[in-house]
Amino acid sequence: MGAELELAALAATGSGAFVSAAASAAAEDAWNQIKERVARLLGRGQDPRVAAARLEASRTEVLVAEEAGNSDVLEGVRGQWEEQLLDALRQDPSARTELSALIEVLTRTGTAAPAQVSNHASDIRGSFIIQSGSIGHFTVDTRQKPPGAGDSSLT
């Protein structure tokens, strides 16, 4: 079960990076390179031109949705890519390395912003909570606030 969750997390990260890269209209050359790599990744067992055409259609959807501020369409495209990536990862274990490398390139070059989520949780009973959304790395903040010291932004 842990391996399946890891694949799902990798697919989610990849799909988010692709939507972010697709939304960057200024990076046309970068998009064409990304599109070729993603088409090879998703187009295993089929003509990569078919996968490339689907990616280009998705990019058009993303650009129109970005312009209109339609987050539902963006989330829908991201979800479609996530499903396709998860299928590719399940069918071919070597796709994991390829996808990880592509995500690293996208975030390193600034073509896609890395996803970052910050949450604050507290409990009057002193529960210990850990949440991690990063594959392979997380940080636990062990600092303790004095009793009654809450987050002033919530008041």
Q: Residue 50: pLDDT band by 50, 70, 90 thresholds?
A: confident
Phi-psi region of 148 (alpha: psi -120 to 50; beta: other; left: phi over 0): left
Asked whether the predicted pLDDT for residue 106 surpasses 90, the reply is no
- CA dist 5 and 121 (Å) reads 23
Residue 148 lies in a domain: no
Residue 117: pLDDT band (50, 70, 90) is very low
Does residue 131 lie in a domain region?
no
Q: Which residue has the higher pLDDT, 77 or 106?
A: 77
pLDDT for residue 28 is more than 70: yes
pLDDT value for 85: 92
Number of domains making up the chain: 1
Determine the structural domain holding residue 30 and report its residue range.
2-109
Identify whether 145 is part of a domain: no
Q: Determine the average pLDDT of the residues in 15-28.
A: 79
Measure CA 136 to chain center: 15
139 found inside a domain: no
